[in-house]
Amino acid sequence: MATLTDQEFHARMQALADKFAATVPVTLDKITRALAACRADGPDGPESGHLHDLHELLHGVAGSAGTFGYGTLGQYCRVVEQQLRAVLAGQAEWPAVASQVDALLLWAARDPRAPSW
């Protein structure tokens, strides 16, 4: 039998999960805008500040999505975040990672809670 404390804990977790779910579209829009800012920097590639902004957004989703029922979204963001980190370190090319961000956004637009990408 669940105790009152368990019920309160689950209620608080559900409230946090609901709050997270409400932020997913906003966060995806922020990722879209950060990607656009990176692309707008021109043919020499994105400015490091724009890359860091995009990285921060992906990192935030990667770290919290699984806790609130968006496990695959979190995993997908983690993969792209790591690829972006390689760009920041000069170990990967931006265009390939940009296309991965596009794919992530396309997938998430269909169903960010989908069990696979």
Residues 1-39 have pLDDT tens digits of: 556 678 888 899 889 989 999 999 999 999 999 999 999
Q: What is the model's pLDDT at position 74?
A: 97
Q: What is the model's pLDDT at position 3?
A: 64
Residue 93 phi, psi dihedral angles, 5° rounding: -95, 135
Residue burial 32-42, b: 16+ Cβ < 10 Å; e: rest: bebbebbeeee
Contact present, 73 and 65 (Cβ < 8 Å): yes
Q: How many domains does the chain have?
A: 1
Q: Give 69-116 pLDDT, tens digit per residue.
A: 999 999 999 999 999 999 999 999 999 999 999 999 999 999 999 999
91 lies in some domain? yes
56 lies in some domain? yes
With a CB cutoff of 8 Å and minimum separation 6, the contacts of 80 are 58, 97, 100, 101, 104
70 lies in some domain? yes
* Nearest residue to 29 (alpha-carbon basis) of 108, 117, 113: 108
Which structural domain, as residue segments, surrounds residue 74?
4-110
Q: What is the pTM of this model?
A: 0.90
Q: What is the model's pLDDT at position 44?
A: 87
The CATH number of the domain where 38 resides is what? 1.20.120
Residue 60, pLDDT > 70, answer: yes
Length of the chain as a residue count: 117
